[in-house]
Amino acid sequence: MSESNQETLEQAPIKLVMNQLPAANVPFESPLHHVELAKIAEHGESQGGVLFRELSLGLLTLRCRPDAAQAASIESILGLALPTEPLTSVSSGDGELTLMWISPDEWLLQVPQDKAFELETRFFAEVSGHVSLVNVSGGNTVFELSGNEVVNVLKKSTPIDFHDSEFPVGKVVSTIFAKSGATIRRTSEQSYQLIVRRSFADYLWLWLQDASKEYGLTVTC
């Protein structure tokens, strides 16, 4: 191989984009499929102080230190500027896109599951420079916890301070949760999202059932 060809290979960015959604004849399977949440929602407790729901969402991890041009290019694709204030998030008006600050050079993008591949493809086609966007949907799932007693259950599970003055709506933290890990985002006054690894989903589901026992747990779909 000539030196010029070698230099071209070394300088050319590697862009591998893969559609993680199964084919139409292959159903998407939740990591809690064996629990049969739909049946629990239909026949289980309906007046619990804590409401549980699993959400099927697309998740992408973005890593970069954008200059003005790159930031503008990213904003033109997303329709939102990347949040730069630590532990914050921003969402589109329709709620379909949420950008979460994870670290000074890392953001977590949350989109409808069927939009993740389209967004990733467009991103690599239009954004230049040093940037990484990885679809992590397949390795994670999203739990939604809400209700009058939701904060009491969260306090049992993590050392984070959930007082309104310390954890307002829109705040995001990555922390230890029940000896596992989770990214927690407050989505409304009495609602939180937990982004967790699929491999820990069953363990955390069992934990949340136990932690919610004194308040009552209602599963919704």
Say if 19 falls within a structural domain: no
Average pLDDT, the chain: 91
Say if 17 falls within a structural domain: no
Q: Which residues of 170-180 are buried (b: 16+ CB within 10 A; e: fewer)?
A: bbbbbeebbeb
Span 21-44, pLDDT tens digits: 667 666 678 999 999 999 999 998
Say if 58 falls within a structural domain: yes
Say if 120 falls within a structural domain: yes
Helix then strand then coil, % of the chain, to nearest 5:
30, 30, 40
Phi, psi for 33 (deg, rounded to 5) = -60, -35
| pTM for this entry | 0.88
Say if 24 falls within a structural domain: no
Q: Which residues touch 157 (CB under 8 Å, ≥6 apart)?
A: 177, 178, 207, 208, 211
The dihedral built from the CA positions of residue 165, 166, 167 and 171, taken in this order, carries a sign that is: positive
Beta bridge partners of 220: none
- Number of structural domains (the chain) is 1
Span 80-134, pLDDT tens digits: 999 999 999 999 999 899 999 999 999 999 999 989 999 999 998 999 889 999 9
Residue 8: pLDDT over 50: no
CATH number assigned to the domain comprising residue 126: 3.30.1360.120
Q: Which residues of 40-53 are buried (b: 16+ CB within 10 A; e: fewer)?
A: bbeeeeeebbbbbb
Beta strand ranges found along 18-116 (DSSP E) = 50-55, 57-64, 89-91, 98-103, 106-112
Residue 156, domain extent: 33-219
Nearest by Cα to 36 from 54, 58, 22: 54
Tell me which of 189 and 29 has the higher pLDDT: 189
Say if 184 falls within a structural domain: yes
Span 122-175, pLDDT tens digits: 998 999 889 999 999 999 999 999 999 999 999 999 999 999 999 999 999 999
Say if 23 falls within a structural domain: no
**Alpha-carbon span 18 to 111, nearest angstrom:** 16
Phi, psi for 170 (deg, rounded to 5) = 100, -15
